[in-house]
Amino acid sequence: MATLTLLQAVNDGLKTAMRRDPSVYVFGEDVGPKGGVFLATEGLTKEFGKNRCFDTPLSEDGIVGAAIGMALNGLKPVCEIQFQDFIFPAFDQIVSEAAKFRYRSGGQYTCPMVIRTPYGGGIRGGLYHSQSGEAYFCHTPGLKVVIPSTPHDAKGLLLASIADPDPVLFLEPKALYRSVKGEVPEGDYSVPLSTLRTVREGERVTVFCYGAMVPQAVKAAEQAAAKGIECLIVDLRTLYPLDEEGVLEAAKRTGRVVVVHEAPRFCGYGAEISAMIAENIIEYMEAPVARVTGFDTPFPNTLEHHYMPDDRRILDAIEHVHGF
């Protein structure tokens, strides 16, 4: 196995998919010879030619609209939105068109496409390069929303997403692009969508997290363990469709739950986890569900370190639910 960063794993996943399937095309703003703003597509144009990895105009609705047309005509497009913050001009194409084709055609047609985009904070990008908009898209039936947190999962989930018959929004936590490394199998493999990953075993508090919040949750769990509080850390990986049964089982194991995400709190993804637990297994709970999130403000620049949840805030929540 090779030891890769999460960014290198994404690049390796794209190359693997393009080698195995000539119908896979990669395109977006500056993804061609330049290799993308983060170099996630570096080397693809050189290996596969400018017809299979190419630059587009600065038009997000055009990028996604073209991908939909390609997907409906037998290709498997993987388009990139340079930052998730720029995806909103294509919102209608994603939620009203791509996500609806299977339903509106009575199952006759699918729309096999992947929209890759870096999301979240961690690079001091300010309000236009740091947003976490996953909740907008998890509200869309027909669309799958996937977020990796390790190099192994980044490649495996990406390959599974490209092979999936339905549209997938693949959100890449830019804070982890170069800050995490791990072993990644060579060649083709996949990590099944809608499956959870147990990051750390524990019987006192369950912590649900995803993306860049996974390493922060692990740090907090290590500090909690030193105080005698062993935490079960669960990486959700696929936010929609979610493995709801797995989430409920993990929550029942401890009866105490913390949910962590860097998006704003109000109507954030953690609210759905909280509601799911309240509606289904409230009798197993020993404490209210605690949420550790970003704040209900635009994403700040100089105060980024204060806005994003860290191990200290997560540890406070763990101790609170444990002592309730």
The stretch 212-238 carries a mean pLDDT of: 98
Q: Is residue 87 very low, low, confident or very high in pLDDT (cuts 50, 70, 90)? A: very high
Asked if 132 contacts 79 with a C-beta cutoff of 8 angstroms, the reply is no
Confidence of residue 153 (pLDDT cuts 50, 70, 90): very high
Mean predicted lDDT score pLDDT of the chain: 97
* Percent of the chain at pLDDT exceeding 70: 100
Q: What is the mean pLDDT of residues 60-75?
A: 98
Quick one: pLDDT at residue 115? 98
Fold match between 2-184 and 197-322? yes
**How far apart are alpha carbons 213 and 256 in whole angstroms?**
19
Considering Cα of 15, then 16, then 17, then 20, what sign does the dihedral take?
A: positive
Marked catalytic residue, from 129, 152, 261, 322: 129
Q: Write the Ramachandran bin of 212: left for phi over 0, alpha for psi from -120 to 50, otherwise beta.
A: alpha
CATH number assigned to the domain covering 197-322? 3.40.50.920
Instruction: Give the model confidence (pLDDT) of 197-223 as tens digits.
Output: 999 999 999 999 999 999 999 999 999
**Domain locations in the chain?**
2-184, 197-322
End-to-end CA distance of the chain: 45
User: Of 119-123, 230-234, 301-305, which range is least confident?
Assistant: 301-305
pTM for this model (two decimals): 0.97
> Residue 43: pLDDT band by 50, 70, 90 thresholds?
very high
Q: How far apart are CA 165 and CA 136, in angstroms?
A: 22
2-184: what fold? Rossmann fold (3.40.50)
Average pLDDT score over residue span 150-172: 98
Rounded-to-integer distance, Cα 83 and Cα 171, Å: 10
**Local structure of 110: helix, strand or coil:** coil
Q: How far apart are CA 142 and CA 196, in angstroms?
A: 20
pLDDT of 262 higher than 90: yes
pLDDT at 90 over 90: yes
Whether 145 contacts 171, CB under 8 Å: yes
The pLDDT, as a whole number, for residue 302 is 87
- To the query of whether residue 261 is one of the catalytic residues in this protein, the response is no
